Structure 1
Amino acid sequence: MISNGTKFGVVLAFVASMPAIASAHTGVGDTSGFLHGISHPICGVDHILAMVMVGLFAYQLGGRALWLIPTMFVLMMALGGALGASSAYLPHAELGIALSVIVLGGIVALKVKAPVGIATGVVGCFAIFHGYAHGAEMPENASGFAYAAGFMIATALLHATGIAVSFQIEKASERYSRVVMQCAEGIAALAGFGFLTGVF
């Protein structure tokens, strides 16, 4: 029987090996509207890792943070998406995305128990950068509402994935769950440094 921790490690390794790392921000492509919106967040490992980290962080804090942190991220990401779609200038957006992976990965790996207000504020700030990247690459012929609905739903699903992974790890053997979680988040933080330095 394969343990939940092993399954999670395999999934993480698969995600990390995806060749789409550099393709998350390469252009609008042929798809428009809802389908393009829902596909954009899952086309780059930087987005995937950050979204899953949000779910892990929310589960780690528990209580009202379990729904408040993902909700705040989605709402602030929508604001960032509006900024990107309107051609507003947001400096260092790619830097903000890379830092989100590093910071969120580090927070979960170190099991930081931040107050819910501070946690939602930090997550909300990072969400703006992710939303801006999505909005800036919205196809010209796409419906803004359909595109936004797409990337918001995809993001919420990735948050749910992070929460589900946390739940499964917690159900695994106590001897290994903490090690698996910390190793996974450490890898995520290292991936963030890779995005930041241009290694990936």
Structure 2
Amino acid sequence: MFRFHTQFLTLLFVLTASAAAAHTGEGINTGFASGFWHPILGWDHVVAMVAVGLWGAFLGQPAIWMLPVVFPLVMAFGGALGIIGAPLPAVETGIALSGVVLGLLIAFAVRAPIWVAAVIVGAFAIFHGHAHGTELPQQFNAYGYAIGFVVGTGLLHLAGIAFGFLTRMEIGRAAVRGTGGLIALVGAAFLFGFA
């Protein structure tokens, strides 16, 4: 039992230490790996991208696959804008708001038409992509980095979709809506500078 706790604590410390370097590319030695870990190690990105999958699962077909496709496509466009240095105001605010808004949409079980949902998700994807693009470490290939952050984002969407399947049960719907509320709180913490 002691060995399990020691291993768990070691893993926790390693993940925590890595998260501190999530936005710098430190300690990651390839463009793909840096891009892949960027969304996964930044909680501001994680909550929004999991929320996209959750909301898609909550809305059902065709949103369950459409939203997780729209987000990375538009995010790649935002990433290209960031890489070429095109200005985009209030990027960090947009990222934080994505957690707040998407979390609230889930918490309040909002059933938006698919085109409205796609516009909301796409608008927030531009901010996430721009942040990824501007934080591209100079020594890495932009294409590898972009593929990495799209793959990392896709995995976070899949995690949200998987958790969203709980909506098939009454208690699962409550858990998903509660998670939406938690996502909104995390987004608010970033928005108001508490995180």
TM-score, length basis structure 2: 0.86
Q: 1:170 aligns to what?
A: 167
Residues 1:29 and 2:26 are matched in the alignment: yes
CA contact (8 A) 2:53 2:68 kept: yes
Q: Is the Cα contact below 8 Å between 1:52 and 1:161 reproduced in 2?
A: yes
Any gaps of 5 or more consecutive residues in structure 2? 1-11
Find the aligned partners of 1:21 and 1:110 in 2 and give their Cα distance: 31
Map of 1:79 onto structure 2: 77
- Is 1:187 aligned to residue 182 of structure 2? yes
Spell out, residue by residue over 1:35-73, the C-alpha distance to the aligned partner (whole angstroms, 9 max, x if none).
Answer: 111011011111111000000111111111111111110
> Which structure 1 residue ranges, 5 or more long, are not aligned?
1-13
Q: CA deviation at 1:22?
A: 6.5
Structure-2 change in CA distance of 1:106 and 1:20 (3 Å): farther
CA distance in 1 between counterparts of 2:36 and 2:121 reads 21
Q: What is the Cα deviation at residue 170 of structure 1? A: 3.1
Q: Which amino acid aligns with 1:29?
A: E
Measured after TM superposition, the shift of residue 178 of structure 1 is: 2.7
Rounded to whole Å, the distance in 2 between the matches of 1:114 and 1:20 is: 37
Contact 2:96 2:190 (8 Å CA) reproduced: yes
Query: Structure 1 residues 102 and 66 mapped into 2: Cα distance closer, same or farther (>3 Å)?
Result: same
The residue type paired with residue 25 of structure 2 is V
Counterpart contact for 1:20–1:44, Cα < 8 Å: no
How many Å separate the matches in 1 of 2:74 and 2:20? 24
Taking a change above 3 Å as real, the CA distance of residues 110 and 20 of structure 1, as seen in their structure-2 partners, is farther
Q: Give the paired residue count.
A: 181
C-alpha distance in 2, partners of 1:24/1:199? 18
Distance (Å, rounded) in 2 between the aligned partners of 1:130 and 1:81: 8
